[in-house]
Amino acid sequence: MITIRQMRYFEALAATRHFGRAAERVHVSQPALSAQIMQMEQQLGAKLVERSRADTSLTRKGEAILDHVRTILAELDRLEQTARRGDGLLGGLMRIGIIPTVAPYLVPQLVPHLRTNHPTMEIELKEAITGRLIEDLREGRLDLVIAALPIDTEAIDTRAVFRDRFYMAMASNDSEVLMSPLSESDVDPDRLLLLEEGHCLREQALAVCGTAGRRSLVNFGATSMATLLQMVSHDMGMTLIPEIAVPTETARNAIRVAPFAEPQPAREIGLAWRRGHLSEEETAAIAEAVGACVTSRPAR
């Protein structure tokens, strides 16, 4: 009979397509992982993995079995989560991932709110770009993700929570006076600063400013909104800033913001979770908490 350990090792290998990285992910040595995969193949009587020096891939049988393995592991994670939870709607451990352009502005309000209204809830937070968070969500390392929608991933459900409008941020002493409200043509692509590749806000900025096909962008990819706005405050360019960040960043940086003309561009922030992992009541309670924290933000 195959074991849970073998299934977890196989799922890690399927996700990484590399024995070394898979071993690191499940915190074992590479020979130990390889031995468990071989035992799993022997017990199932089928070859699951094509091994070569160049790469590692799954056989057709391996791909078919992977779906079943992921379903079983998801149910096991759900069982463990249910057992860990105490009394109350959101009792026990909740592992939440949040994208970097939301986390610094939401977490300081959200965590106290959840602790006050759900005192038996234990919270673990992870900040990362959307792709990494969704990978962790699919593989059971997170229970919930707060990110920009849409998220079109198989077996992942989503729920919209709030609309986050975009503004243009520039240095307070910027000599260029832009018309307000702004139109797409008012933005100089030569001065537009962007987050590094992988951040969804980068793609949103390119779409809003109509520069997706332009190459005359400032060749610097900041790793965080804080870094980007420090550059803006020193008059190194301008950047798109989401409304959720405006109160905090205008208070600590020498920047001013200008709104866009109607219809104002915006992103939709929402929740994502593995299908069947959380109940409707649980996701509704978290959505209500997030919405309450956003509504209570200080005025600009």
Domain assignment present for residue 96? The answer is: yes
Tokens of 183: 């139109």
171: tokens are 């240095």
Q: How confident is the model at residue 215 (pLDDT cuts 50, 70, 90)?
A: very low
Q: Are 67 and 126 found together in one domain?
A: no
100 and 62 assigned to the same domain: no
Q: Are residues 73 and 139 in the same domain?
A: no
Is 194 among the domain residues? yes
- Would you say residue 13 has pLDDT above 50? yes
- Give the separation between CA 286 and CA 159, rounded to whole angstroms: 10
What is residue 207's predicted lDDT score, i.e. its pLDDT? 78
Same domain, yes or no, for 93 and 170? no
Same-domain check for residues 8 and 71: yes
- Least confident segment among 194-198, 264-268, 272-276, 289-293: 194-198
The torsion of the CA quartet 93, 99, 100, 101, rounded to 10 degrees, works out to -130
CATH number of the domain within which 153 lies: 3.40.190.10
- Residue 101's domain comprises 88-162+267-295
Does residue 89 carry a pLDDT above 90? no
Domain count within the chain: 3
- Residue 94 belongs to some domain of the structure: yes
Count of beta carbons in the 10 Å neighbourhood of residue 56: 19
Q: What are the pLDDT digits (tens) for 250-283? A: 999 999 999 988 888 899 999 999 988 888 999 9
The answer to whether residue 300 sits within a structural domain is no
Tokens 């400013």 sit on residue: 209
CATH classification at residue 24: 1.10.10.10
Structure token digits, residue 297: 């933000």
- Asked if residue 155 is part of any domain, the answer here is yes
Residue 156 lies in a domain: yes
In this structure, is residue 199 part of a structural domain?
yes
Only one residue has tokens 């910027």, namely 174
Q: Both 202 and 152 in a single domain?
A: no
**What's the mean pLDDT when you consider all of the chain?**
85
- Same domain membership, residue 209 and residue 249: yes
Q: What percent of the chain has pLDDT over 70?
A: 87
- What mean pLDDT do residues 64-88 have? 76
- The last residue of one of the domains, among 63, 83, 103, is 83
Q: How far is residue 190's CA from residue 214's CA, in Å, rounded to a whole number?
A: 9
Mean pLDDT of 175-201: 72
Q: Dihedrals φ, ψ of 224, to 5°?
A: -150, 160
Angle between helices 4-16 and 60-84 (to 10 degrees): 120
Q: Is pLDDT of 18 > 70?
A: yes
115-167 pLDDT, tens digit each: 999 888 889 999 999 999 998 998 888 999 999 999 988 889 999 999 999 99
- Residue pair 242/200 in contact (Cβ under 8 Å)? The answer is no
**SS3 sequence, the chain?**
CCCHHHHHHHHHHHHHCCHHHHHHHCCCCHHHHHHHHHHHHHHHCCCCEEECCCCEEECHHHHHHHHHHHHHHHHHHHHHHHHHCCCCCCCEEEEEEECCCCHHHHHHHHHHHHHHHCCCEEEEEEECCHHHHHHHHHCCCCCEEEEEECCCCCCEEEEEEEEEEEEEEEECCCCCCCCCCECHHHCCHHHECEECCCCHHHHHHHHHCCCCCCCCCCCCEECCHHHHHHHHHCCCCEEEEEHHHHHHHHHHCCEEEEEECCCCCEEEEEEEEECCCCCHHHHHHHHHHHHHHHHCCCCC
Q: Which tokens is 33 given?
A: 């992982």
In this structure, are 155 and 63 located in the same domain?
Answer: no
The reply to whether 68 and 183 lie within a common domain is no
Which of 83, 109, 128 terminates a domain? The answer is 83
Say yes or no: 128 and 218 in one domain: no
Are 134 and 11 within one domain? no
271 and 257 within one domain: no
State which of 40, 63, 83 marks the end of a domain: 83
Most confident of 47-51, 105-109, 150-154, 171-175: 105-109
The CA–CA distances, whole Å, from 5 to 48, 100, 137, 295 equal: 16, 33, 19, 45
